[in-house]
Amino acid sequence: MDSNNNNNMKLDKPALSFFDKNFINSNAGREIRILSEYLFPEHYLEEYNIKNAIVIFGSARVLSLAEWEKQNTTLNQQYENSTEQEKKELEKKIKLHQAQYELSVNYEECVVLSEMLAEWSMKLPEDKRFYICTGGGPGLMEAANRGAFNKKMPNIGFNIDLPFEQYPNPYISKELNFEFYYFFMRKFWFANLSQFLIAMPGGFGTLDELAEHLTLIQTKKIVKPLPVVLYNEKFWRKLIDFEYLAELGMIGEKDLLLFKYCSTPDETFDYVVKTLTKIHNL
């Protein structure tokens, strides 16, 4: 092309590289995305002077007791007005729903526990407070954020971008509502911020996070003291036979001391307060 023909042409300025979505979302931009998921939370956690957290994991699928009762009524009404063929399918749904009742009780207990922890933490000096932190979704994560919200304490949600669109629950503090693409960066922030871990009943996600943290503690990749509570002893003992793993030598006997079973808000609260007070000289 003859350069003389360009004299009267105007070329638009290109976007700055870090505003170019095609680049940022490409393979070449992966390092920037990963770094952003480190620096972005760090910036805002520092801005709000948040140094320590009590991290609470748990299933996104658990209903509040009120919602469980509402759905229970609906299912029973549907059953009464259904055909014989429809009844067979509804019986499966009702059986599953009934099995989840205890988990909905755990939802309410998680709210109470979070309220107790928030109330206790707010009495501490600001730089020594422990903020409730969850995976930011519904279910038992919502219950934990809800308890802190009820006591007007800032609380954190580390949500994750999923294909089935997990939305943040409404009880997370707006300025502490984070969204992650990378699971490993989300796990990093859980491990980095956590001073105590409470694992409520959950599925693959909860098991993944629990196993990751127990492994990091066992291998001393996490060097700080990080106590772990498995809430609802009946659930956890039925789900995982840790003693059997120790009997087979898959884990050591001392690894059974990496966590403690608790089954009530009061029992858990007393253990958390006693342990954190000792570790942090409160």
pLDDT tens-digit map of 249-267: 999 999 999 999 999 999 9
CA angle 167–114–190, rounded 5-degree value = 60
Query: What pLDDT score was predicted for residue 78?
Result: 86
Inform me whether the pLDDT recorded for 10 exceeds 90.
no
Pure H helices in the chain: 21-24, 30-47, 65-80, 84-99, 101-121, 140-150, 183-193, 204-218, 233-239, 242-247, 265-280
What is the distance between the alpha carbons of residues 279 and 196, in angstroms, rounded to a whole number? 11
Q: What is the pLDDT of residues 223-235, one digit of tens each?
A: 999 999 999 999 9
Query: What pLDDT score was predicted for residue 5?
Result: 58
Domains of the chain as residue ranges with CATH: 51-63+108-280 (3.40.50.450)
pTM of the entire predicted model? 0.91
Beta bridge partners of 260: 229
Q: What are phi and psi of 230, to 5 degrees?
A: -100, 110
Place of tokens 């729903």: 97
Q: Which of 57, 209, 185 is nearest to 133 (CA)?
A: 57
Inform me whether the pLDDT recorded for 2 exceeds 70.
no
Beta bridge partners of 52: 130
> From residue 45, how far is each of 51, 167, 215 by CA, in Å?
7, 21, 26
14-18, 136-140, 199-203: which has the minimum mean pLDDT?
A: 14-18
Beta bridge partners of 159: 179
29-33, 137-141, 205-209, 240-244: which has the minimum mean pLDDT?
A: 29-33
What is the mean predicted confidence (pLDDT) over 86-109?
93
Inform me whether the pLDDT recorded for 3 exceeds 60.
no
